[in-house]
Amino acid sequence: MQALRHFLLALQFFTRIPVTGRLAEWVGFSPAMLRASAAHFPGIGWIAGAAGAAAYAAAHAALAPSLFAPLAAAVLCCVATAWLTGAFHEDGLADVADGLGGSADRERALDIMKDSRLGAYGALALVLALLAKVSLVAVLGSHSLLAGAAAVALAHVVSRFWPLCLVRALAHVGDTARSKSKPLADRISLQALGAAALWCLAPLALYAWIQPVAALALGLLCSALAALWMARWFARRLQGFTGDCLGATQQVCEIAFYLGAAVAVLRGAA
């Protein structure tokens, strides 16, 4: 029951799905619970991934056999996941791009990242990230509907595990009192990280069963390398992470998974 409470708290924090009324009273709230909910971030990926995959499959099936069906389906998939999550992680990506692109000075970069206004670097990062997602999911969908939908479902789960590794490896450097990552200011425990990994097992097994193992392996490798690169970047530029860094990492790792899966699927079909 305590694990369910933590999951519902994560659901309330990271999606638009309402947890209100008696259910909210039963869930309760405390800073410790919010920290514990981090173990269930990949579980939120189950919901976001399922919603994205369903939107993709429905649009692809409705628009087939049009040549542009995979592209239109990929766009609607991104619309569905961005709406469901309130574009929470996309906002982090934009803030990181504005901060680290706007100043080489650490303190100045952190100040820029706190600014809610969107700058040129942030706008460019959002546009390029969305183009990358749409094009790569469309490439997968051009191979088969299943390839696109399965990649979307798994990418959302895996990409929410890697930011927790950053929390474990780096120090929190944001304004803890006002930060969106306030519950993660303390480093995540190995037990919580293990619980997060457990959330990934079933989607990984299902993907390996319905898609080529090479697509899973290359997708995971690209996603892991992207997480490592982001961690090194944040350690060098900021000497730690902020909540925006976690959102940016999720976005980059999601795109990296699509890239690896697309390369493997298309090379296997060649």
195 in Cβ contact with 188 (< 8 Å): no
Q: What pLDDT shows up at residue 183?
A: 58
Q: What is the pLDDT of residue 97?
A: 96
- Count CB neighbours of 130 within 10 A: 18
List all residues 6 or more positions away from 222 whose beta carbon is below 8 Å from its beta carbon: 256, 257, 259, 260
CA 95/CA 254 separation, integer angstroms: 18
In this prediction, residue 95 carries a pLDDT of 95
Whole-number pLDDT of residue 21: 83
- pLDDT tens, per residue, the chain with 270 residues: 788 888 888 888 889 988 888 888 887 877 778 788 888 999 999 999 999 999 999 999 999 888 899 999 999 999 999 999 999 999 999 999 999 998 889 999 999 998 888 899 999 999 999 999 999 999 999 999 999 999 999 999 999 999 999 999 999 987 655 555 555 666 788 898 999 999 999 999 999 999 999 999 999 999 999 999 999 999 999 999 999 999 999 999 999 999 999 999 998 865
What pTM was estimated for this model as a whole?
A: 0.94
**How far lies 227's CA from each of 33, 165, 193, 251, 255, in Å?**
26, 8, 15, 10, 11
Collapse the DSSP code of 66 into the 3-class scheme (helix H, G, I; strand E, B; otherwise coil) and give the result: coil
pLDDT at 181: 54
